[in-house]
Structure 1
Amino acid sequence: MRQLLDKKMWIGLLMIVPTLGLAQPQGGPPPAPVQVAVASNTQIAPIREIPGFTKARYITTIKAESSGRIVDLADIGSQHEVSAALGLIADNEYALRIEELQNAINNAQASVDFLRQESERLQTLYQRKLASSTDIDKNDSDLKIARGDLAQARARYQQLQDEITKLTVSAPFTGFVSAHHSQPGQWVNEGQDLLEYMSSGELEIVVNVPLQYKSQVQVGAQWQLRDQAGTLYQAEITGFVPAATSNSRQIRVQLATQDGGLFAGEAITVLMPEAAPQELLVIPRDALVLRRQGAHIFVINDAVARRVAVTTGLAQGDLIAVSGDLQAGDQVVTRGNERLRNQQTVQILNEK
């Protein structure tokens, strides 16, 4: 009986095995979704990071050009065009002086008019021999003196008008108010500080470069900057001091950038090339897969991933130089490469 049961069990197993074989999936796993980039030959150089800062190109302290009481001052942070009013100083004495000089001009003008008419009358009398040449000479002298007095009165009036215009503080260039040194209602004397004013739209980047890299400091050279948020900017060297100006033997270098987004006084990092750039084969850093035994990447050929061992070199930004069995134009996997296997089929998601 036992032998009969064993025989039936073996027959049952033989019937189940083919059924299990038919239930196995056919055709292997589906293609792995990946994103790719293209390897390229690019000029790249070793980079040294140097701290620097930004500053407004022009920073000035606006001073009072006349004495008086401050009526108004522009708000801190307010933007102004060149020659725009930044503040107003009042002086009540100016009104009295204007009236005084206007009266002086009127009196001098009346004297000139009278003496000119008197000259015409004396000339007529002289022709009739009713006036002497001495009378005419004295009139001419008095007329010259009166005309001189008129010119002086007008000159004093113009000087007063110029002083009055100085009561209005004007912007020397396009910029913004960065600080107040006086307040409305305060009495100020000529030459006293009123406010601090900075130029806008013209930032200057300042960095101190070690003297050993002086060969890299050339006007017109293009360097990169990175702000504290990690944003990269392109900058150009506009000038430098051709001397080691500090105890640390460094060269002061000025750069300018056309990119917006930087504020005056902001700390930045300057990415200075340490040597002349070389043309190298580069790929995005994300394409690297780092393991204990070394680094490798995946190159895509006909939707199949081929594992390639690489040796890394210089890096610049998001790019890194590599050497190995690949060439410019090859597609390398940048996303989805951590779990990818050699010779695995892929589906490129970012291919256009």
Structure 2
Amino acid sequence: MKLAIYSNTLKAISLSFLLISPTTYAAQDELKLVSVKLAKQEQVTPVVWLTGNIASRLNVRLSAERNGRLLWIKDIGDQVKKGEALAQLDTLQNEFRLAEQQSQLRQQKSNTEYLRKQLKRQKALINNKSTARIELDRTERDLSVAEEALNSLNIQISRTQLVIDRSTIRAPFDGQVNQRMAQLGEYITVGSPLVQFVDPNTLDIRIAAPLSVALFLNRGDNMVVKWNNQLQLLPVRTWSPAGTQSSRTFEVLLDASNLKLMSGSAVTVSLPKELANLTTMVPRDALVLRERETFVVTVDQDNAAHKVDVLVGRGVGDWISVSGKVTAGDKVVVRGGERLKDGQKVRFSETENTIVAIN
């Protein structure tokens, strides 16, 4: 009898579990699982956001150093190593001149060698008083003239060889052809631009900054850069030592060599404008970047998510300063907040949250 009652009780409990569990789990599944961290306060320098432009640090226009017809030229986009040829001018006329000068050099060497031997014989004869002193003096003079002519021919040959060498326009560094300014068959004159050559991997961000910013800049300091809904910390490389009187600005350069952006792209950069003060910090992963807005998602005491618009300031490691309705100790979503609706209930790991709060 007792066994039957026990068996019926188990069946009732199991039936109740089956009836309740689907509803309970469904409600649980409606709660979005997110990861949160706590906002904090820290001393950070206030910033001003300015527009910057990506520019290649190595960007040159290469021109012809002599006249000549253009035989060939590299195409736009071609990658060229340092020292390799970018364009070639016709050298035929100078090659003929070089061959003629080398022939004259050989003749002059033969003449100079003859005079040296002649002088040696006459010195032997003058010791035996078998020749006149005037003949010896004439031979010494002729040898001196011949040696100067030999030196002059060597200089002419070197000059002609230099002209031939400079008929090949070579890359001054590793890079790519960005623009061609001449076409095959054109007659090129000295100083005519042939190609624009750039290094697409060595980039700077150029910012026209107010003069007041200069007091708070330090070489190597990381600045926050925003583009295409992304944030990146980049170091200050250098800045111009003087500003322009008309605009009251000076140029600041950030090292952007690690960015996969084309020269000419526009970005937004934060630069320090005042001394450090106490500000609210959130993890960089908490920021949700959109084309026209930047916000974080906070979680209140009822585990409801709320979108909070913020202005981004200076970054410190994995954290970034923000201004808006966020205070130290607020729970901010660092994973899973992109698709949350305002007021939507969320859930998160208590263990993870405790660990985060400690950090």
Place the TM-score, normalised by the shorter chain, in its bin: 0.7 to 0.9
Larger-Rg structure: 1
Q: Which residue of 2 aligns with 1:35?
A: 34
Distance 1:296 1:98, change over 3 A: closer
Any idea what SS the aligned residue of 2:244 has? coil
Aligned equivalents of 1:93, 1:311: Cα separation in 2: 75
Output aligned runs, 1:1-352, within 5 Å: 25-26=19-20, 29-30=24-25, 31=28, 32=31, 34-41=33-40, 43=42, 46-227=46-227, 229-245=228-244, 247-275=246-274, 276=276, 278=278, 280=280, 282=282, 284=286, 297-298=299-300, 315-316=312-313, 322-323=326-327, 326=329, 335=337, 338-340=343-345, 346=347, 348=349
Which amino acid is 1:297 matched to? V
The answer to whether the 8 A contact 1:79-1:177 is kept is: yes
In 1, are the aligned partners of 2:74 and 2:177 still within 8 Å (CA)? yes
CA drift at 1:131: 1.5
1:297/1:332 contact within 8 Å kept: no
AA matched with 1:323: T
Larger relative helix fraction: 2
Q: Is the 8 A contact 2:178 2:196 kept in 1?
A: yes
CA contact (8 A) 1:41 1:280 kept: yes
1:314 to 1:108, Cα distance in 2 relative to 1, 3 A: closer
The verdict on how the C-alpha distance between 1:169 and 1:129 changes in structure 2, with shifts beyond 3 A counting, is same
Question: Structure 1 length as normaliser, TM-score?
Answer: 0.74
Residues in 2 aligned to 1:247 and 1:222: alpha-carbon distance in whole angstroms: 29
Give me the whole-angstrom Cα distance separating, in 2, the residues matched to 1:245 and 1:200.
Answer: 28
> Whole-Å Cα distance in 2 between the matches of residues 152 and 107 of structure 1?
13
Q: What does the per-residue CA deviation read over 1:83-140, in whole Å, with 9 as the maximum and x for residues that have no partner? A: 2211110032212211221121111111111111212222333344321222222211
- Distance (Å, rounded) in 2 between the aligned partners of 1:314 and 1:70: 56
Q: Does the 8 A contact of 1:297 with 1:310 survive in 2?
A: no
- The range that moved more, 257-266 or 67-76, is 257-266
Change in Cα spacing, 1:187 to 1:333, as seen in structure 2 (3 Å) is: closer
Distance in structure 1 (CA, Å) of the matches to 2:57 and 2:168: 25
SS in 1 for 2:35: strand
- In the alignment, structure 2 segments of 5+ residues that lack a partner are 1-11, 289-296
> Which amino acid in 2 is paired with 1:144?
S
SS in 2 for 1:29: helix
Question: In the alignment, is the contact (CA less than 8 A) between 2:182 and 2:194 conserved in 1?
Answer: yes
Map Cα deviations across residues 22-59 of structure 1 (whole Å, 9 max, x no partner): 97955882344512122253645555332111111132
Counterpart-to-counterpart distance in 2, 1:265 and 1:308: 39
CA distance in 1, matches of 2:237, 2:310: 31
Amino acid at match of 1:197: F
**Amino acid in the other structure paired with 1:257:** A
Distance 1:103 1:54, change over 3 A: same
> What is the CA–CA distance in structure 2 between the aligned matches of 1:71 and 1:309, rounded to whole Å?
67
The answer on whether the counterparts of 1:87 and 1:169 sit within 8 Å (CA) in structure 2 is: yes
SS at the partner of 1:265?
coil
Count of equivalent residues: 312
What letter corresponds to residue 327 of structure 2 in structure 1? S
1:281 and 1:327 in contact (8 A); partners too: no
CA deviation profile, 1:134-159 (whole Å, cap 9, x unmatched): 22222111111111111111111111
Amino acid at match of 1:167: S
Question: What SS class does the counterpart of residue 323 from structure 1 fall into?
Answer: coil
Query: In 2, distance between residues paired with 1:217 and 1:185?
Result: 52
Asked whether the 8 Å contact 2:61–2:197 carries over to 1, the reply is yes
Partner Cα distance (2:54, 2:277) in 1: 26
- The Cα offsets for residues 223-244 of structure 1, whole Å up to 9 and x where unpaired, read as 11122x2232222222223554
Alignment root-mean-square deviation, CA = 3.8
Relative distance call for 1:225 and 1:105 in structure 2 (3 A) is same
